[in-house]
Structure 1
Amino acid sequence: MVFTKESLILEHQQILQKVKRIAFEIYEQNFEEKKLVLAGIHENGYFLAQQLEQELKNISPLEIQLIEVRLHKTEPLEHEIQITPLPESLKDTAVVLVDDVLNTGKTLAYTLRVFLEKDCKKLEIATLINRHHPLYPIAATYTGYSLATTLREHIRVVQENGEWGAYLI
């Protein structure tokens, strides 16, 4: 797939700025917590969660636990959701589920069950780009960039050689 400068909607520096702002918002809403779990959805959501972890460690005393969530995005009920490392309990723990693009909310909706079963204290959602096509009752608590698109358009967030880019295709 070829990405062109014309389809670029967020360049590397802009994405880093969005991540930094989201980190500040997360800290503002969770400053009383001792521990915060960032659960990044494989693949780009996990990369973004890693960036958020770095930013949060720079600005807050919070203990951050980073976990990766893997699920089959087209057939989520047919495959088990994998969490690495799997926490024994999330009781009394705030969790922020991180993904790159919020489109219909399907991926996030199927992922919620795993965290609800672990009895987390609070469950929030952070997304770099919100496309506003909800088919599931999912809303992002933290959004880097809101972009109304048509159903035929797609957003692709790519990381190549340590550089981020978000493209409208």
Structure 2
Amino acid sequence: MTPQSHQQNLILDQGQIEQKITRMAYEMYEQNFEERELVLAGIYQNGYTLAQRLAQKLEAISPLKVQLLQVQLNKTTPLEAPVILTPTDINLDGKVVVVVDDVLNTGKTLAYTLNAFLPKNPKKVEIATLVDRHHPLYPMAATYTGYSLATTLRERVEVVLEENEVAAYLL
């Protein structure tokens, strides 16, 4: 996809996304300033990229140590394969975990990821999303939201977090 192909549907440009990431990082630090460490669990693929960017920002603005965790699951049929957390050796016992995804739509993906975290006894689990579409089918709400957007069910939000393009589009 070229940046011009969806220009009329652009909802966030690179500068706006960077601004949202910075604000979300400050909010995370404010909510967790008493912690020494945060675990950012990014849902593969864009959620993990967003988690990496949030981790860089958090480490730049705060004394928090940030650990990154990649969460892989089958988003369309989440019961067919287990949720995989990488690396597998991160101890979540008593830690604050922030599950990160690029778009929160129905909450289904996030609901299924909780099964992977709850047995590991985290202190608390929070949710961060760049774009919240407000179509909840599961009781999942973002703790940190970059951008809130009312959409129709037929519309899609596409977030691009690549080296040569950072943007969000409404399709």
Superposed pair shares fold, TM > 0.5 = yes
Is the partner of 1:144 in helix, strand or coil? strand
Alignment of 1:11-160 (within 5 A): 11-160=13-162
Unaligned runs of at least 5 residues, structure 1: none
1:73-122 CA-to-partner distances (Å, cap 9, x unmatched) read 01100011111102353111000000000000000000011111100001
Paired residue total: 169
Q: Contact 1:37–1:67 at 8 Å: present in 2 too?
A: yes
Unaligned runs of at least 5 residues, structure 2: none
The TM-score with structure 1 as length reference comes to 0.97
Is the partner of 1:145 in helix, strand or coil? strand
Percent sequence identity over aligned pairs: 62
Query: Aligned letter for 1:48?
Result: L
Q: CA deviation at 1:50?
A: 0.3
The TM-score with structure 2 as length reference comes to 0.95
Q: Contact 1:129–1:146 at 8 Å: present in 2 too?
A: yes
Q: CA deviation at 1:35?
A: 1.1
* Alpha-carbon distance in structure 1 between the residues aligned to 2:26 and 2:163: 26
The list of structure 1 runs, each at least 4 consecutive aligned residues, that deviate by more than 4 angstroms after superposition, is: none
